[in-house]
Amino acid sequence: MEETLVLIKPDGVKRQICGEILTRYERKGLIIKAMKLLQTPKELAEEHYAEHKDKPFFGELVDFITSGPVLAFVLAGKNAVTSVRTINGATNPVDATSGSIRGDYALTMDSNVVHASDSVDSAAREIHLWFPEYK
Protein backbone atom coordinates (compact mmCIF):
# COMPACT_ATOMS: atom_id res chain seq x y z
CA MET A 1 0.00 0.00 0.00
CA GLU A 2 1.43 3.38 -1.04
CA GLU A 3 0.36 6.73 0.41
CA THR A 4 0.40 10.21 -1.11
CA LEU A 5 -0.43 13.76 -0.02
CA VAL A 6 -3.00 15.73 -1.99
CA LEU A 7 -4.00 19.37 -1.62
CA ILE A 8 -7.08 20.94 -3.15
CA LYS A 9 -5.70 24.46 -3.49
CA PRO A 10 -7.59 27.67 -2.63
CA ASP A 11 -8.97 27.97 -6.18
CA GLY A 12 -10.57 24.51 -5.94
CA VAL A 13 -12.03 25.14 -2.49
CA LYS A 14 -13.41 28.57 -3.54
CA ARG A 15 -15.02 27.07 -6.65
CA GLN A 16 -16.74 24.39 -4.52
CA ILE A 17 -15.43 21.48 -6.58
CA CYS A 18 -13.92 19.49 -3.66
CA GLY A 19 -16.70 16.89 -3.89
CA GLU A 20 -16.21 16.37 -7.62
CA ILE A 21 -12.44 16.04 -7.17
CA LEU A 22 -12.72 13.60 -4.24
CA THR A 23 -15.16 11.47 -6.23
CA ARG A 24 -12.53 10.93 -8.91
CA TYR A 25 -9.99 9.58 -6.42
CA GLU A 26 -12.54 7.42 -4.62
CA ARG A 27 -13.94 6.06 -7.88
CA LYS A 28 -10.41 4.93 -8.75
CA GLY A 29 -10.29 2.92 -5.51
CA LEU A 30 -8.03 5.19 -3.47
CA ILE A 31 -8.80 5.37 0.24
CA ILE A 32 -8.93 8.60 2.28
CA LYS A 33 -6.78 8.01 5.38
CA ALA A 34 -6.70 11.54 6.84
CA MET A 35 -8.20 14.90 5.90
CA LYS A 36 -8.39 18.50 7.09
CA LEU A 37 -9.47 21.92 5.83
CA LEU A 38 -6.99 24.53 6.94
CA GLN A 39 -5.67 28.01 6.38
CA THR A 40 -2.04 27.26 5.52
CA PRO A 41 0.50 29.01 7.75
CA LYS A 42 3.21 30.84 5.74
CA GLU A 43 5.98 28.70 7.32
CA LEU A 44 4.23 25.49 6.26
CA ALA A 45 3.79 26.80 2.69
CA GLU A 46 7.48 27.75 2.47
CA GLU A 47 8.55 24.35 3.79
CA HIS A 48 6.16 22.52 1.46
CA TYR A 49 7.55 24.36 -1.58
CA ALA A 50 11.18 24.41 -0.34
CA GLU A 51 12.47 22.80 -3.55
CA HIS A 52 11.23 25.86 -5.47
CA LYS A 53 12.69 28.48 -3.12
CA ASP A 54 15.21 29.73 -5.71
CA LYS A 55 12.65 29.95 -8.53
CA PRO A 56 11.30 33.35 -9.58
CA PHE A 57 7.72 32.26 -8.89
CA PHE A 58 8.36 31.09 -5.29
CA GLY A 59 6.75 34.18 -3.72
CA GLU A 60 3.63 33.80 -5.87
CA LEU A 61 3.39 30.10 -5.01
CA VAL A 62 3.44 30.84 -1.29
CA ASP A 63 1.03 33.77 -1.66
CA PHE A 64 -1.41 31.63 -3.61
CA ILE A 65 -1.43 28.57 -1.34
CA THR A 66 -1.94 30.83 1.69
CA SER A 67 -4.66 32.95 -0.01
CA GLY A 68 -7.55 30.83 1.30
CA PRO A 69 -8.45 27.48 2.82
CA VAL A 70 -6.85 24.32 1.44
CA LEU A 71 -8.30 20.79 1.72
CA ALA A 72 -5.37 18.50 2.59
CA PHE A 73 -5.65 14.72 2.63
CA VAL A 74 -3.73 11.48 2.53
CA LEU A 75 -4.76 8.91 -0.06
CA ALA A 76 -3.72 5.26 0.05
CA GLY A 77 -3.72 2.48 -2.52
CA LYS A 78 -1.50 0.42 -4.76
CA ASN A 79 0.64 2.83 -6.86
CA ALA A 80 -1.15 5.76 -5.21
CA VAL A 81 1.56 8.33 -6.10
CA THR A 82 1.47 7.66 -9.85
CA SER A 83 -2.27 7.05 -10.00
CA VAL A 84 -3.07 10.38 -8.35
CA ARG A 85 -0.70 12.27 -10.64
CA THR A 86 -2.39 10.68 -13.67
CA ILE A 87 -5.83 11.65 -12.35
CA ASN A 88 -4.54 15.22 -11.72
CA GLY A 89 -3.01 15.64 -15.20
CA ALA A 90 0.06 17.64 -16.25
CA THR A 91 1.19 20.50 -13.96
CA ASN A 92 0.53 23.00 -16.74
CA PRO A 93 -3.22 22.74 -17.50
CA VAL A 94 -2.50 23.61 -21.14
CA ASP A 95 -0.79 20.20 -21.41
CA ALA A 96 -3.25 18.30 -19.21
CA THR A 97 -5.43 15.82 -21.07
CA SER A 98 -9.17 16.27 -21.09
CA GLY A 99 -10.63 13.99 -18.43
CA SER A 100 -7.89 14.79 -15.92
CA ILE A 101 -8.65 17.24 -13.09
CA ARG A 102 -6.40 19.99 -14.46
CA GLY A 103 -7.52 19.22 -18.02
CA ASP A 104 -11.14 19.70 -16.99
CA TYR A 105 -10.96 22.45 -14.35
CA ALA A 106 -7.85 24.62 -14.87
CA LEU A 107 -6.46 27.08 -17.38
CA THR A 108 -3.19 28.32 -15.88
CA MET A 109 -0.16 26.89 -14.05
CA ASP A 110 -0.52 29.20 -11.04
CA SER A 111 -4.16 28.17 -10.40
CA ASN A 112 -4.00 24.48 -11.16
CA VAL A 113 -6.52 23.29 -8.52
CA VAL A 114 -4.57 20.39 -7.00
CA HIS A 115 -1.16 19.41 -5.73
CA ALA A 116 0.05 15.83 -5.25
CA SER A 117 3.36 14.36 -4.10
CA ASP A 118 5.68 13.56 -7.02
CA SER A 119 7.41 10.48 -5.52
CA VAL A 120 7.16 8.05 -2.63
CA ASP A 121 9.92 9.97 -0.81
CA SER A 122 8.17 13.33 -1.33
CA ALA A 123 4.94 11.76 -0.11
CA ALA A 124 6.56 10.66 3.16
CA ARG A 125 8.01 14.16 3.67
CA GLU A 126 4.79 15.97 2.76
CA ILE A 127 2.51 13.69 4.83
CA HIS A 128 4.72 14.30 7.85
CA LEU A 129 4.64 18.06 7.16
CA TRP A 130 0.87 18.41 6.76
CA PHE A 131 -0.18 15.63 9.16
CA PRO A 132 2.48 15.45 11.89
CA GLU A 133 -0.09 13.66 14.07
CA TYR A 134 -0.69 10.93 11.45
CA LYS A 135 0.66 7.41 12.32
Which stretches of the chain bind ligand CMP, using CB under 6 A? 57, 61, 91, 109-110, 112, 115
* Closest CB 110 distance from ligand CMP, rounded Å: 5
Which member of 48, 52, 115, 128 is catalytic? 115
Q: How far apart are CA 20 and CA 133, in angstroms?
A: 27
Q: Calculate the alpha carbon distances from 133 to 13, 26, 100 in Å.
A: 23, 23, 31
8 A C-beta contact, residue 127 and residue 134: yes
Q: Is 128 a catalytic residue?
A: no
CB nearer to ligand CMP: give 57 or 134.
57
3-state secondary structure of 50: helix
CB nearer to ligand CMP: give 5 or 22.
5
Amino acid at 109: M
8 A C-beta contact, residue 65 and residue 10: yes
CB nearer to ligand CMP: give 13 or 115.
115
* Closest CB 9 distance from ligand CMP, rounded Å: 7
Q: If we measure between CA atoms, which residue out of 72, 5, 13 comes closest to residue 38?
A: 72
* Closest CB 64 distance from ligand CMP, rounded Å: 8
Minimal CB distance residue for ligand CMP:
115
What residues are annotated to the active site?
115
